[in-house]
Amino acid sequence: MQALHALPDPEALAESISHQDRSAVAKALNLLDDKRPEARQRAARLLAALPKQRLYRSGHLIGLTGPPGAGKSSLTAALVRVWRKRGLTVGILAVDPSSPISGGALLGDRLRMLSGSSDASVFIRSLACRGEFGGLSAEVWPMSLVMLAAFDMVLVETVGVGQKEIDVSKLTDTTCFVAQPASGDSVQFLKAGIMEVPHVLVVNKSDVGNAARKTLSELRASLQPPSHTEGWQVPALTASATVGTGIEALADSIEAHRTWLVEKGLLAPGRRRFQAEWIIKRLAEEFGRFGIETLGGRSTLLSSLVEAQRPPFEQYDALRHRLLARWHDD
């Protein structure tokens, strides 16, 4: 067990993170993963010390989801190359339930293969999928915040086969779904409303030929009319991660969605909302629905959390203590 004195100083750590110090980012992610009370307190201080401007207004938080083997990691590596060419720094959270360690290592290898060397401006962390937060680990949100404080582009790679529960779109500005050629499942999931409509849809492996084009037109057809996306026209593209075609266009579409969010004034409120949802979800896990009702009910709680604009652990701990105190009194 790590000695307590070895825990980092949160304010100094926050400072280093905002200077894109990669080892500081790594330390911060470890701290967020540490369940001991002292570590939790420091993690709360760390999150409070990160510049709000960066957490809620800058950068781009992207979710890349799709079935296993669709080419998410390969596309991530290809996108990283485009972003690096555009002078952007990149942080990646890879959530791979099948092999959390080798998944990240594999992605690292692929990035080195593509860029020729290990690039100091790209940071990768793979996460075990603990299944608690609808398939995503509960730490994904605070970890995303730390990454946003350090990097321009933050990409979360998760396996998703369609179910809304394991939906990274609850946490990211832009969700990109990677489909396999000839994968009827994705089309069916979209049509049946089982799958949340992503902001960007890409059929990878276009190098295999007709199957990719056919899947693309099926997906396009099942996207009509655009649904919950408030006027955003979902681009549906093809790409080949291995050949390298369509990657610039994909990067452009992802960026266009962010531009659209900013124009509509949705970026910062969206992130506030993810945070509020994250807090409510954690409280519900610990205290059940009754706990949420005690705090005024889900929708009241949601709007008050969004409005309060305070750091996540601070908000969470305050509500938790309120519930514990209430039950202690009763």
Ligand X SMILES: Nc1nc2c(ncn2[C@@H]2O[C@H](COP(=O)(O)OP(=O)(O)O)[C@@H](O)[C@H]2O)c(=O)[nH]1
Q: Which residues lie near ligand X (CB under 6 A)?
A: 66, 68-74, 204-205, 207-208, 240-242
Shortest CB 308 distance to ligand X, Å:
37
Shortest CB 240 distance to ligand X, Å:
4
Shortest CB 96 distance to Mg ion, Å:
6
Cα–Cα nearest to 159, from 200, 98, 102: 98
Please choose which of ligand X, Mg ion, none residue 58 contacts, taking the beta carbon within 5 to 8 angstroms, the exact cut-off set by kind.
none
Shortest CB 139 distance to ligand X, Å:
21
Shortest CB 68 distance to ligand X, Å:
5
* Nearer residue to ligand X within complex by CB, 143 or 239: 239
* Nearer residue to ligand X within complex by CB, 32 or 201: 201
Q: In what order do the strands lie in the sheet with 153-159?
A: 122-127, 90-95, 153-159, 60-66, 174-179, 200-203, 236-238
Please choose which of Mg ion, ligand X, none residue 160 contacts, taking the beta carbon within 5 to 8 angstroms, the exact cut-off set by kind.
none
Could you tell me if residue 172 is left (phi over 0), alpha (psi between -120 and 50 degrees) or otherwise beta? beta
* Nearer residue to ligand X within complex by CB, 50 or 64: 64
Fill in the per-residue mask, 62 to 91: x = in contact with Mg ion (CB under 5 A), - = not in contact.
----------xx------------------
- Report the chain's C-alpha Rg in angstroms: 20
Please choose which of Mg ion, ligand X, none residue 142 contacts, taking the beta carbon within 5 to 8 angstroms, the exact cut-off set by kind.
none
Shortest CB 109 distance to Mg ion, Å:
12
* Nearer residue to ligand X within complex by CB, 48 or 211: 211
Rounding to the nearest 10 degrees, give the CA dihedral for residues 75, 61, 33, 291.
-130
Please choose which of ligand X, Mg ion, none residue 70 contacts, taking the beta carbon within 5 to 8 angstroms, the exact cut-off set by kind.
ligand X
Centre a 10 Å sphere on the Cβ of residue 210 and count the other Cβ atoms it contains: 9
Residue 13 near residue 46, CB atoms below 8 Å = yes
* Nearer residue to ligand X within complex by CB, 29 or 203: 203
* Nearer residue to Mg ion within complex by CB, 72 or 320: 72
Shortest CB 168 distance to ligand X, Å:
13
Which parts of 166-305 are beta strand (E)?
Answer: 174-179, 200-203, 236-238
Q: What are the structure tokens assigned to 164, written together? A: 């809304």
Residue 180 near residue 88, CB atoms below 8 Å = no
Phi, psi of 95 (to 5 degrees): -105, 105
Residues in contact with 329: Cβ distance below 8 Å, sequence separation at least 6, in sequence order: none
* Nearer residue to ligand X within complex by CB, 61 or 250: 250
Residue nearest to ligand X (CB): 71
Fill in the per-residue mask, 165 to 194: x = in contact with Mg ion (CB under 5 A), - = not in contact.
------------------------------
Host H or E run for residue 156? strand 153-159
Residues in contact with 163: Cβ distance below 8 Å, sequence separation at least 6, in sequence order: 194, 195
- Please give the residue ranges that form the binding site for Mg ion (CB under 5 A): 72-73
